[in-house]
Structure formats: C-alpha cells, structure tokens
Amino acid sequence: ELHKRLDIPGEDEVARLARSLNRMLNRLEITVEGYKQFTGDASHELRTPLTVMKGEISLALQKERSTNYYKEVLEGIEEEVDRLIRMVEQLLFLARADGDKIKNHLNTIDLYETLVPLLEQMKILTEAKHQEISWIIPKHILISTDPDALQQILLNLLDNAIKYTPESGRIEVRVEQHPDLVRILVADTGNGIANEHLERIFERFYRIDKGRSRELGGTGLGLAIVQKLAHLIGGNLSVTSAVGHGTTFSLDIPLRPTGQL
Ligand code: ADP
C-alpha cells in the first residue's frame, strides 16, 4: 500500500528493472569487447604489411643489387601499398557508417538499366578467368533506393564471386519481383563456405583462408561494408552455401511506392 502511495516500485518491479539493467550491461560489455577486438585486429592488419615492406627495403639497401632486383622489390611494395590504401579507405567508410555519417540518397531507378552496365563491366573480369556470367533481370522494375549503395553492394558481391570461384566456374545474377520486395541473388559455383564460417564472414577482418584472401588482394572488410550498405538502403542480406558447390548471396529490398522518397 505504502509503496503505491509514495510511488516507490514494489519488489517485483525492482527485480524486473534489475534484470533489464543487467541485460543492458551485458549488451554494452559485448559491444565494448567487440570494439577492443576490432582495434586489436585493425592494428595487426595494418602492422603486418608495414613490417614486411620494412624487411624488403632493408634487404634491398644492404648492398648493391641488380636493377631487376630493385624492380621486383618495388613491385611487391606497390602491391602492398595498394592493399593498405584500400584497407584504410574501407576502415574510414566503416568509421563513418558507425557514426551514422553516411546519408541515404534516394532516387527512383530502373533495376535493369542500373544493373546491366555494371554486369557488362564485370564480364570482362570473368572472361579473364574463363568464367561465365549470366543474368536474368526483368525489365521495367522501378524501385526507390540509393543507386550508389546498391551498385557498391553488387560490385563487392560479384568481386567475391569471381575471386572465390575457380576457372570455368559460373556466376549468375537473378532479380525476382515479390509483392512487397525485390530480391537480388548473386550465385556462384565456387568453393562454397562451411557452416561454421557462414555466420562469421560478415565480421570485420574475418577470412576463411587468410593467405588466399591476401593473395587475391582481399582485406576481409568487403562483406562488413556490404552489410552496412544493405542496412543503409533498408535491405536485408543473407547467404546460403554448399561446400564444393557454390554460394548464393541474397539481397531483399523492400518496395516503397515510387515517388514517395
Ligand atoms: P575479402 O577481402 O577477404 O574477400 P570479404 O569480407 O569480402 O573479404 O569476405 C570475407 C571472406 O568470406 C573471404 O575471405 C572468403 O573467405 C569468404 N567469401 C566471401 N565471398 C565468398 C564467395 N562468393 N565464395 C566463397 N567464399 C567467400
């Protein structure tokens, strides 16, 4: 009675508040742990190539070497520097996205007209690897979305499909129209991803085979960025895969009436 009159919460209420506070603290702890892990990973990822380059430079400066030797060292360094620049740009993007600094620029676009030029461009890369790329995209689907973000998502997914699919593999892009969403599927006949890795590939710096990703110029940040961009456009990204058969990424974009930006 007294509790009620003085507006003091009862025991049940206090217990409920304590539980909810506990849950909040747990979540906060996980977030802080995540950031600590990320800072550690990022420092390590940036330091390793710098250490390698320092070693190569010291070795080259030890004594007189042939022009060819210097050229090879410089080429190796250029590759590393390119990868570092890519990594730093991707980290900057993620930092801006974490701080909600990336704005959504909505526009009404025709999916066929937006995606086909990009696919034609990617075809050149697949031809170099003797892969086949095909697409099934219905004409005249208009959606309201951020075209740059959508293109970036597709570019990243296709880049991965090409990288992680052996020669003579196939890549297919399909667009399906559902009552309240459009689904964009990017399927490849590549190595596939085992279940234990599947839920982690969107984490920053997570790579199934570090050496291989590195050789292919990867940074392990691509899918983390794709995930951010998918959220930015209000979409939902999912993945299914079968080891030895291939992988399919699926992006669902909810439809809003066009004209209503
Ligand atoms: P990376 O720069 O290493 O490609 P991503 O974030 O784009 O980084 O991808 C993370 C990891 O997920 C890759 O290293 C690779 O192991 C795996 N992966 C991504 N896409 C595919 C795919 N289409 N087929 C098989 N594995 C993939």
Other C-beta atoms within 10 Å of 111: how many? 21
Q: How far is the CA of 235 from the centre of ligand 1 (A)?
A: 20
The question of ipTM being above 0.90 is answered as yes
Sign of the dihedral defined by the CA atoms of residues 60, 61, 67, 72, in that order: positive
* Model pLDDT, residue 69: 95
Is residue 145 within 8 A of residue 110, CB to CB? The reply is no
User: Which atom of ligand 1 is found nearest the CA of 188?
Assistant: 23
Q: Give the pairing type, strands 170-177 and 107-110.
A: unpaired
Closest atom of ligand 1 to CA, residue 202: 6
pLDDT given for residue 259 in this prediction = 47
**Which residues line ligand 1 at a C-beta cut-off of 6 Å?**
160-161, 164, 188, 190-191, 193, 201, 206-209, 213, 218-224, 247
Query: For atom 13 of ligand 1, which residue has the closest CA?
Result: 207
What is the 13 CA–ligand 1 centroid distance (Å)? 47
**With contact defined as beta carbons under 8 Å apart, do 144 and 107 qualify?**
yes
Backbone φ, ψ for residue 117 (5° rounding): -60, -35
Pull the structure tokens for residue 99: 């701080």
| pLDDT value at residue 24 | 95
Could you read off the pLDDT of 81-111 as tens digits, one per residue?
Answer: 999 999 999 999 999 999 999 999 999 999 9
- Per-residue pLDDT, 2: 61
174 Cα–ligand 1 center, Å:
20
Q: How far is the CA of 227 from the centre of ligand 1 (A)?
A: 13
The backbone torsions φ and ψ at residue 101, rounded to the nearest 5 degrees and listed phi first, read -95, -5
**Closest atom of ligand 1 relative to the 224 alpha carbon:** 6
Q: Which residues contact 22 (CB under 8 A, 6 or more apart)?
A: none
Q: Which amino acid is at 58?
A: S
Q: Give the pLDDT confidence score for residue 261 in this predicted structure.
A: 46
pLDDT tens sequence across 186-218: 999 999 999 999 999 999 999 999 888 888 888
Structure confidence at residue 213 (pLDDT): 87
Low-confidence spans in the chain with pLDDT less than 70: 1-6, 257-261
Q: How far apart are CA 49 and CA 32, in angstroms?
A: 27
